Structure 1
Amino acid sequence: MDGQAQFQFQQTDMALVSGEEVERLIAGLKTTPSWTDQADTAAVSQWIVRGWAHLGAHRDRLDLGLAQPDSPVGAPNRLATVWARLTRDLVSAGPTKYQDALRPAIAHIVKLLWFTSAVARLDHPHFKALNQSSLQALSNLNTLNPRAIEHTWPLLMDCDARQSILPRLLYTRNNRVLLPVGVLVLNCVHGDRGRIDSLTDTPLGRDVMRMLLERLDALLDDQTEMVFEVIVKLVREIVALEPATEGPKLYHSQATPSQVLSPGQLAVLKVLDSLALPPSSAFLLAEFARLAPRLDSAWQGFVLLIHLLVSRIEIFIAAAPSSGHKDALEEDAMDDPHVEEVVRTSIRILKEVSDQRSQLMSSHDPSRATSSRPEPEGEDKKRSINQILSGLVKLITHLIELKNSAAASAGHPDSRGAAFIQDLVRTMDGFPVILSFTKFDVDFPYLREHAIVLLKYLLKNNPDNQAVIRDLEPLIVPS
């Protein structure tokens, strides 16, 4: 093995190298990994770099059989694929030895990927394995290697969008190719604010993230895919390095003039909803106010914002006994005027959506149904109404608890705490609609529970509200 490997590494005419010989080298990495310690690292690396240069210079040969996807993969494609695998496996087996020595190969790999990522080749059977292995090799070369990243990142991002391989590669329908693209970007931006900013502040970066986020959204039904986890990690990496006072730049960078909430923004909100620490209340409240009048176009994002606000409030409530709680609330935009505006908006939406709920239930009266199978549009509408109503009821409840806990921690027994919220619900005539939610509905199973808890908070220590509720009957909701 060692003698044959040494012969191979001394070969200067790369046209004489066969794929079978390279396959034996790859197999040797598994059966006799010690040969990499015995071999001359410089000789091995120079040989591999020469091979990449040879592949790039003769890349047109890779198109043999391009018009016949069912034909066997040609020798040039097989050689290029095993060359990429050898590079990948060598770096993986000995990163400290080969990452720096193989750095000159990076430019050759990027150039070849530009060729193989063309639309006609990207997901072609003859190029799938080559693209996957080449990307894995490039990613391994950049794993925790700042010098390699400094060499690679400009080739990926410091160029015109039409010259970057990233957008071309992201058109792939193959998750096995998409995965190393995501890993490569994650490896390059890890812990570096400047490179992360290039993903949010440049047209190319925004385009790359848009494509990744759209793929993330499409993978929500199959979160076992490794690429899903990689893209989520990338989003978390970006968000983690953003100053809390600025709000999620990635979210704002995905805004489009023609959409209330772009698919990229919705995907970012879904990742934010999975974080232990939600973004600042200032951002959440601003987006809550922006999306509230546009629920037809952005109800999913609005529901996520409600979840995030509730999570943020729960953090404040848990911290209520600590000193400076009131100041923290004011600094984080959870002061009384902001809370009052949220409650006003919530009551208005509860009334409007409750009317839609009544209309929906009337239109789906079983006695009028022509089919036993529910219409998909009706089910989607029902789900959106359920989530909006339950979320807003829970949000108002948490706001009351927040203000009461803030008043208690401030040590002012005369403070009315959340009384202004209780009174606002009454003056906006919100009790009838909230009371109507207490009737059990199999299609809205949790709404009743949330409504009962909210009523308890609205009535506590508030004689005016108690007097109103005694004289009310719930709104009639169709059975």
Structure 2
Amino acid sequence: MSDQYSLNTRFCEICAGFLSKSGKDSVPSLTRALDTIATDLARNEDLRTRMGSDDPSIWPSLHQLWNFLANYPSADADDPPFGILIVSIARFTRNLTAGVAMNQQNAYADEPSLRRILHLYSSWSAFRSTDSNAFPPTRMVVQALSNIVTTNEDLISRLWNTYLTLPEEQVVLIRLLGSPDPKTLLSLLVLMVNCIHNSTERRSLLAKSRVGARICITLLDRMVLLYDAEDSSDSAKAFDYGYHLFAHLFDGGFVPDLYNSLSVEGEVIAPPQTTLLKLLDSYLQSSQTCSMHCDMCHMLSGIFFRLSSYSQSAIRRAIGPGNSEPLDGTNELPQELDLLLPKTCEALVLATQCIVKISLLSEDQWNTDPSAVDLRVVFRDSTSVDGQGTAESVIELLRLLDTFLPRIYFGKAVINPATNRNVASPAADPSGFLYLKRDLVRFVGVLCHKDKAFQDRIRVCGGIPVIMNMCVVDERNPYLREHAILALRNLLDDNRENKDEVNSIQPSGYWDNEGVLREKAGATLR
């Protein structure tokens, strides 16, 4: 008891001595003492408990220190002694509060001071240099804040509700997400993941509130930059924690709310929405269970129709009214170029992949348990705002894409047999169109599997010749031919009308020695 008493007394005395001098000359002695105590606290949980509860109480002195730092008249993020002092006091606070509920409760009184310091150290001027003096203080204060609230539900809720209801310009979470320091970003994301873990209320606030949307937009933009980080680096770890944060939102069924909160008025798709779809696609591809909410199915159907309708309109404007022939050498540029079309198609690929994955998971579950809800029905029966059904939308889009996009074979555009000219690539970024035909064909194959009504709808809207025309090699769409053959197999399975339709279609061309499809003389193309 005497040793502990002397430690508390020593802490109070060095704090009082520093505060009475309030000068930079006294910083080294204070930081040395705090660092020594912090090291002992990190090793001994019992010491943390006793130091936080015994007399003389350390809390008034610690509160005074944080208040001094938050209100220091000449506080400057580029002031090294000031930053070193913040690091030492934050480290002491971090170690003192780790896993000790009473210490967390007492230390939370300093949260406004910590927030003010974080606001100072997350300014543009503080982040202007990659070797900024702001990084260590910011990182350590974030870690201290994390230890103050972690595992303490009451404090986590108070912190989260406070931060997500502040005026946007005061939200330090948004500012810190812009930190160039990956260690700071990693510490921040650990705090954020801990805050929303196992809490529907806090997840909802993040997904639905205005500030939450701004946080998610900033994080999604940052994750795009972190994606190519070297494995095991702090940047890669930060990306993983960012993914885990969104996975918590996916688990809670907040995808529709979050997707809508990321929208930009007047735009068919916003960049953060595309990034969110990439994360959702990755999440679904790694999932082995079908625990998806029906709301997610309706959301994905809505996204598919919105993107498909936009793409159809853009392609029609590009190829011109009444033009059903591929763009060729006589018309090298589209009549009207929509710069958003590649990004729209990129998002359409992601939405389609998500739908296919959910459909396959649902089919597996339904085969095992016939009483389970078959989520494929949601996708089959959905309609767009203008009344276009899923079958009709995907077939019309495939038909237009076959006109608009050349097939790439061995690195060259396929020659159009009708004109004997090279098909010109659209004057737009081709990367946005990668895998589009393949995934749309796969979409058809999955939804028509053992469903005669959907098979019939594909036939009625003229989809069988469209799918047959996809049985080709296209380097922009790997395995397109294989997916088209499988889709045809599913379309014909136990469907006499569809088989008769295929039998009525006679070969209209032949493959030459160069692997190019040539039209037979006098043949009629369907």
* Interval of TM-score (by shorter of Structure 1 and Structure 2): 0.7 to 0.9
Deviations 1:188-235 (A, max 9, x none): 333333333332333222212211122123323338412212222222
Cα pair distance change 1:19/1:325, threshold 3 Å = closer
Once the two structures are superposed, residues 100-125 of structure 1 have per-residue CA deviations (whole angstroms, 9 ceiling, x without a partner) of 23121212111221222222124551
Does the Cα contact within 8 Å between 1:5 and 1:25 map onto a contact in 2?
no
CA contact (8 A) 1:260 1:291 kept: yes
1:202-241 equivalences under 5 Å are: 202-222=209-229, 224=231, 225-241=236-252
2:174 matches 1:152? no
CA distance in 2, matches of 1:312, 1:53: 53
| 2:135 aligned residue | 128
Q: Is 1:116–2:152 an aligned residue pair?
A: no
Equivalent in the alignment of 1:62 = 76
Runs of 5+ unmatched residues, structure 1: 67-72, 368-375, 405-416
Q: Do structure 1's residue 49 and structure 2's residue 49 form an aligned pair?
A: no
Alignment match, 2:444: 396
Matched with 1:312 is 358
Conserved 8 A contact 1:14-1:50: no
Give the SS at the match of 2:268.
coil
Give 2:39's match in structure 1, choosing from 22, 27, 31. 27
2:259 equivalent to 1:251: yes
2:30 maps to: 18
1:356 maps onto 2:404 in alignment: yes
Letter in 1 for 2:115: V
- 1:465 Cα offset (Å): 2.5
| Partner residue in 1 for 2:522 | none
How far off its partner does 1:288 sit?
Answer: 0.6
Aligned residues: 442
Matched, 1:8 2:25: no
Aligned to 2:81: 75
CA distance in 2, matches of 1:38, 1:168: 36
Please name the residue that 1:88 is paired with: 94
**Helix, strand or coil: the match of 2:76?**
helix
What percent of counterpart residues are identical? 21
Contact 1:386 1:447 in 2 (8 A): no
State the secondary structure of the residue aligned to 1:121.
Answer: coil
C-alpha separation in 1, matches of 2:380 and 2:85? 62
Letter in 2 for 1:290: R
AA paired with 1:108? S
Q: Match of 1:237, as an amino acid?
A: H
Instruction: Please state how far the C-alpha of 1:131 moved relative to its aligned partner.
Output: 0.6
Q: Which string of whole-angstrom CA distances, capped at 9 and with x for unpartnered residues, describes residues 244-302 of structure 1?
A: xxx62011111111422112212221222213345532221111100113341412211
Contact kept? 1:122, 1:131, Cα under 8 Å: no
Kindly state the Cα deviation for residue 152 of structure 1 after the two structures are TM-superposed: 2.1
Question: Which residue of structure 2 aligns with residue 410 of structure 1?
Answer: none
Higher helix share: 1
> Which deviates further from its counterpart, 463-472 or 349-358?
463-472
Q: What displacement does 1:341 show?
A: 1.6
CA–CA separation in structure 1 for the residues paired with 2:469 and 2:432: 18
8 Å contact from structure 2 (residues 269, 344) kept in 1: yes
Distance 2:344 2:32 in 1: 56
Query: What displacement does 1:170 show?
Result: 2.6
Counterparts of 1:162 and 1:34 in 2: how far apart (Å)? 41
Q: Distance in 1 between matches of 2:51 and 2:455?
A: 78
- Measured at CA, do residues 234 and 326 of structure 1 come closer, stay the same or move farther in structure 2, by a change above 3 Å? closer
- Structure 2 residues not aligned, in runs of 5+: 20-25, 312-340, 416-424, 518-526
Distance 1:452 1:340, change over 3 A: farther
Alpha-carbon shift at residue 388 of structure 1 (Å):
0.8
Q: Is the 8 A contact 1:432 1:472 kept in 2?
A: no
CA separation in 2, counterparts of 1:154 and 1:426?
A: 54
Find the aligned partners of 1:326 and 1:53 in 2 and give their Cα distance. Answer: 58
Q: Tell me how far apart the structure 1 counterparts of residues 68 and 149 of structure 2 sit (CA, whole Å).
A: 22
Give 1:343 deviation, angstroms: 1.7
Query: Deviation of residue 155 (structure 1)?
Result: 3.6
CA shift at 1:393, angstroms? 0.9
1:455 aligns with 2:488: yes
Shift of 1:319: 3.2
SS in 2 for 1:159: coil
Q: 1:52 to 1:59 in 2, by over 3 A?
A: farther
TM-score relative to the length of structure 1 = 0.80
1:270 aligns with 2:278: yes
Contact in 2 for aligned 1:288/1:305 (Cα 8 Å): yes
Q: Deviations along 1:129-180, whole A, 9 cap, x unmatched?
A: 1011101111121112122224423442222212322222233222222223
| 1:195 maps to 2:202 | yes
For 2:523, the equivalent position in structure 1 comes to: none
Retained in 2: the 8 A contact 1:132–1:180?
yes
Please, which of 266, 288, 291 is the counterpart of residue 307 of structure 2?
A: 291
Say if 1:474 and 1:450 are closer, same or farther in 2 by CA, change over 3 A.
farther
Whether the 8 Å contact between 1:29 and 1:35 is mirrored in structure 2 is: yes
Amino acid at match of 1:106: E
d(CA) in 1 for partners of 2:159 and 2:373?
48
Contact 2:406 2:413 in 1 (8 A): no
Partner of 1:106: 111
Aligned to 2:390: 342
Q: Secondary structure at the match of 1:119?
A: coil
| CA contact 2:473–2:481 (8 Å) conserved in 1 | yes
* TM-score, scaled to structure 2: 0.74
